[in-house]
């Protein structure tokens, strides 16, 4: 019985030593990786030889959207708005007000170069279109 207990104790000690050696190897590998990564400069900005960013005409498309549907004398009547957005104009504006107060994603911001991003109307239009045409998860 004593011999069996000593063997079990010795086996558990060997197992513990293997586990510790394995953990030390993992930590050493992680530290080595961190040191290796910190020596390499991080890539910032554009890469030479790559195509420049495509101008998506955000501002002019946002202006067009506002002129088409959201100003007082818009290009398209309310019936076209209802057909495109599947809701009445006042409901869209109430939703826009609510989401801009809830989440600052919908607020128009500048990027690092000072270029204005998409307007709240553009962002909500994209979101509602995705939900209307079932391109997003069932959370809509």
If you average pLDDT over residues 64-88, what whole number do you get? 92
Give the pLDDT score at 48.
79
Backbone angles phi, psi at 128, to 5 degrees: -65, -40
Q: Which residues contact 80 (CB under 8 A, 6 or more apart)?
A: 69
The more confident residue out of 16 and 8 is 16
Q: What is the mean pLDDT of residues 11-38?
A: 71
Statement: residue 13 has pLDDT above 80: no
- pLDDT for 140 equals 47
Alpha helices for 40-119 (secondary structure H): 58-65, 78-85, 89-102
pLDDT digits (tens, 9 = 90+) for 50-75: 888 788 888 999 999 999 999 999 99
pLDDT of residue 49: 80
What pLDDT, on the 0 to 100 scale, is given for residue 5? 63
Averaged pLDDT of the chain: 81
| Collapsed DSSP state (helix, strand, coil) of residue 26 | helix
Of 36, 77, 30, 58, the C-alpha closest to 125 is 58
Greater model confidence, 101 or 35: 101
CB-based contact 99:106 (threshold 8 Å): yes
- pLDDT, greater one: 6 or 123: 123
**In the predicted structure, residue 127 carries a pLDDT above the cut 90:** no
The ranges assigned to domains in the chain are: 1-38, 58-132
Contacts of 68 (CB under 8 A, 6+ apart): 74, 75, 76
Strand (E) or helix (H) holding 20: helix 2-39
Answer yes or no: are the C-beta atoms of 84 and 77 closer than 8 Å.
no
Three-state SS at 11: helix
Which one has a higher pLDDT value, 36 or 111? Answer: 111
């Amino acid at each position: 019985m004593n011999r069996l207990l000593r063997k079990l104790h010795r086996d558990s000690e060997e197992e513990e030593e293997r586990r510790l050696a394995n953990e030390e190897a993992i930590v050493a590998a992680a530290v080595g990786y961190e040191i290796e990564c910190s020596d390499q400069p991080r890539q910032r900005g554009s890469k030479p030889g790559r195509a420049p960013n495509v101008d998506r005409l955000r501002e002019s498309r946002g202006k067009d959207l506002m002129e088409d549907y959201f100003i007082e004398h818009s290009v398209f009547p309310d019936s076209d708005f209802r057909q495109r957005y599947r809701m009445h104009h006042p409901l869209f504006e109430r939703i826009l007000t609510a989401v801009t107060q809830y989440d600052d994603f919908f607020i128009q911001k500048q990027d690092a170069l000072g270029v204005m991003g998409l307007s709240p109307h553009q962002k909500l239009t994209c979101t509602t279109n995705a939900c209307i045409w079932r391109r997003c998860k069932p959370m809509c």
